[in-house]
Amino acid sequence: MSGWRAWLDALLSRLSRPVARDASGRRLRKPFVHRYGRYTSLQFTRRQTQSRMLSAEPDVLLIDYTRTMMGALLWQPRPRAIGLIGLGGGSQVKFCHRHLPQARIEVVENNPHVIALRREFGIPDDDGRLQVVLDDGARFLRARRGRFDLLLVDGYDETGIPAALSTQQFYDDCRGALAPAGVVAVNLFCADAERHFEPLRHAFGADRALMVGEAKMSNRVAFAWAGESAAAIADPQHALEPLPAEARRQLAPVFERVAQAIQARAAP
């Protein structure tokens, strides 16, 4: 009888726990960790990997698009305040925390189950430079007007880009959350990237937005920046100078590629 009672108590305890939901009231799915070979991944389903890292080198930007998003440093080589929408396995959080020591980093994640796995992916604990906040990403941005030199948007659930992170209001709030010379990079892993890019262009202006494709992936990365459009013609070598050697190694090819895309668009 004692075994049955323990089972029932455990069941009642699980049923009484608060259910995690997003801003629309939809129940948030609980992810799991999958380890295989040299890799550790965060997954919501067996067929869908949200984030992947090298188990022995958790700070390396393993996935191509995560390096491309860091191409935003071309516009802002020495950011003092960095915001990230979406924690996942923390690839960019770890990179920024390690290689951009002058920056204060704020991360928002709406799924408490994802945050609970942060140590599984080597994400540092909160400290004077890093804070991970449990909140809705759109609400988080609205409360941080003029805050960030660099904003990285990579918020996904098991269905793709959440509706709250794809509205004109959200992209307007991205613009509003930037400091005067700030820049935002958005991961667009979807079949209709142009539909998401259009409100970003509307928020910043057509001459301050750029979309770059990935040669080996179906992702696209959109950049948009505040300030004068002429300032967008960045020098890759100048942007690389403040970075330590390992960061330069990872980002040098990306900086060249993004700079070429900027210059190609500006050419008559």
Asked if residue 73 lies in contact with residue 252, where contact means CB atoms within 8 angstroms, the answer is: no
Say which of 59, 136, 149, 154 is annotated catalytic.
Answer: 154
- Could you tell me how many residues make up the chain? 268
22 annotated active-site: no
Catalytically active residues are: 154
